[in-house]
Chain A
Amino acid sequence: MSTLRRRSSPAKALLTPQEQTAQRRARRIGTLIASPGALYLLIFFMVPLGLITVYSFATRTSTGRTSLSGWNLNSYERLADDVILGIVGRSAWLAFITTVLCLAVAYPFAYYLATRSPRVRARLLVLVMIPFWTNGLVRIFAIRFLLGSNGPASALSEALGFGTFRILFTPTAVVLGMVYGFLTFMVLPLYVALERMDWRLVEAARDLYASGGKAFWRVTVPLTRSGIVAGCVLVFVPSFGSYVVPEILGGAKTLLIGSYVARQFQAARNWPLGASLSVLVIVAMLIAVTINQRNSENAERTRAGAP
């Protein structure tokens, strides 16, 4: 990396002809190696991304087809409908609650992980990673099975004398499923931030008679801000656009944006409306990613010691 940077620095004129040829050659090799993958992403990701944007300005014909002639903002205007606003609002609200719950649980958890000895830490980390990469559908199905009417959880609660409980097909079940599904997205960046933190700063605060709580809120939390922001972004985005969780655990009252988009492309056959909602999700995602990027760049700079 550093050699690369040195070579392409403004001192280009100082390079010998051989070095210039070598540089051009490296550039050609880079292009050659990158282009098959880049081309694939262009065709099967960037073009679809462009198309969905085009579709969001298209018209739905009376037969449910999409007509690309005559661009308009109709489907964006429909986003102001009460029904749709309700769905978007509910999705954002449930995603927000999920994020807060994940943060509340994951911070102490990551703190615990980061303060173990390296050996224990490595083992616990594997235990965290396994469910993270394990089949998401099956894990949500497991929750559905557990919470089902007369399911194991209900049987247990009855046996303990708490009576039956029914939370399946409620917003609570959806939030529970999303926390279950996305908790690790919060744990990992928090763990990385806490692990890289310079604990001597906390010690210094303690030496200066800061109480444990004060040292935590004034030193530890600000120092791990990049992890907190990254975790929140990584949980909020998939929760906001979640489709599988509300389909399996939610009921008629918990229609979320993901399911609503899916419906527009299935039975409802209103592709332009579905497209405009997808654009909304994509914009939300891009904003979140930008916030995260800027935040982690700031953290890097702080670590590097620059103002």
Chain B
Amino acid sequence: MSSLDTAGTKRSSRRLLAANAWLVFTFLYVPIAVLVVFSFNDSERVNVWQGLSPRWYGEALGNTQVVGALRVSLVVAFTSTIVSTVLGTAVALALDRYRFKGRRALDGTVYLPIVIPDITMAVMLLVFFAEAFKLIDAFGPRLTLGVTTVALSHIAFNISFVAVVVRARLDQFDRTLEEAARDLYATPWRTFRRVTLPLIAPGIAAGALLALTLSLDDVVISSFTAGPGATTLPVYVFSSIRQGVTPELNAISTLMLAASITLVVASLALQRPRSITP
């Protein structure tokens, strides 16, 4: 084999690699782009192009069902984000720097809510709430599925995601900074507040944004743990899709897409490894 020949095959295989890469990017982005473009379609029928107009956004935001679902989504997302960020960060800190009883067990289970398929987690929680209600009903109050049960379920998976993201940040942490603070007679609490916390804050913020995104996006777990009165926006969209695609759904989907892309980009920007010097 001549060296010229090798260079030739090398160049052509390099081209193939590049072509494959751009095909993948096309595959990832074209469906989303088409959806966004068609959401501005003026036509009543989804497949007939009739010119640009924000008409369906107006219709979507005028639909009381949509607005109600949006409100439920936001309440659930913010509650679950706040709680899971606090609990998840604490779990990450404990796993990263302390040895305690049950550490290994916690380390092993904290990843499970991330890997388990949605539908399994959904039915697990449904069964759990059914049994818990039976137990509580015996003492008087009659409980039903609703916004609270959805929020409780979202916290359950979000704790894991926050813990993983924060722990990744702790991994890059320069421990000598804490030692320096201690050498300068800072108390452990002061070291934590003035050194540790500011340094891992971007990780915590990234985890929180991720939790917010996941909560706003979840459909399967929400649809199983929500009662009739607690429909979230994705659950509304999911049940509407089954009845067919409408221009209004295109508009709602585009809005959800915009929200989730904004949050993801912010989260990624915060997770970017930077030199950890103040």
Contact = CB atoms under 8 A, between A and B. Distances in A.
B109 A152 contact: no
Contact of B102 (A38, A113, A289): A38
A194 B150 CA distance: 40
Interface string A24-68: 001111110110111011001111110110010000000000000
Contact of B109 (A4, A45, A262, A282): A45
Contacts of A34: 90-91, 94-95, 98, 100, 102-103, 106
Contacts of A265: 123, 126, 224
Tell me whether chain A's interface is mostly helix, strand or loop, or mixed: helix
Contacts of B118: 241, 243-244
A134 B24 contact: no
Contacts of A212: 6, 9-10, 13
A132 to B, nearest CB: 8
A55 to B, nearest CB: 6
Interface stretch (A72-80, A141-149, A196-204, A218-226): A141-149
A251 interface: no
A195 to B, nearest CB: 13
Contact of A289 (B24, B87, B98, B115): B115
Interface string B11-51: 00100111011001101111110110010000000110000
Interface stretch (A13-21, A273-281, A297-305): A273-281
A39 B236 CA distance: 32
Contacts of B160: 41
Contacts, number: 258
Interface stretch (B53-61, B138-146, B197-205, B257-265): B257-265
A221 B249 CA distance: 44
B119 A262 contact: yes
A138 B257 contact: yes
Contacts of A48: 121, 124-125, 127-128
Size bracket of the A interface = 35 or more
A173 B220 CA distance: 20
Interface in A141-165: 141-146, 148, 150-152, 155
B237 interface: yes
B88 interface: yes
B231 interface: no
Interface in B210-266: 210, 213, 216-217, 219-220, 224, 234, 237-238, 241-242, 245, 249-250, 253, 256-257, 260-261, 264-265
A109 B24 contact: yes
Given A30-B98, A44-B125, A180 B120 contact: no
A242 interface: yes
Q: Find the residue from B32, B93, B156, B265 having the highest chain A CB count within 10 A.
A: B32
Given A4-B97, A47-B128, A48-B125, A134 B115 contact: no
A131 interface: yes
A180 B98 contact: no
A192 interface: no
Nearest to B32: A142
Q: Find the residue from A27, A131, A183, A238 having the highest chain B CB count within 10 A.
A: A131
B159 interface: yes
B123 to A, nearest CB: 5
B267 interface: yes
Contacts of B155: 40, 44
Given A36-B87, A244-B220, A133 B238 contact: no
Interface in A267-307: 271, 274-275, 278, 281-282, 285, 289
Interface string A226-262: 0000000000011011111001100000000010011
Given A112-B18, A151-B47, A45 B156 contact: yes
B152 interface: yes
5 contacts: A31-B100, A133-B260, A137-B234, A141-B237, A212-B6
The 10 closest A-B CB pairs, nearest first, are A30-B98, A241-B117, A34-B94, A30-B100, A48-B128, A48-B124, A37-B91, A37-B87, A142-B31, A44-B156
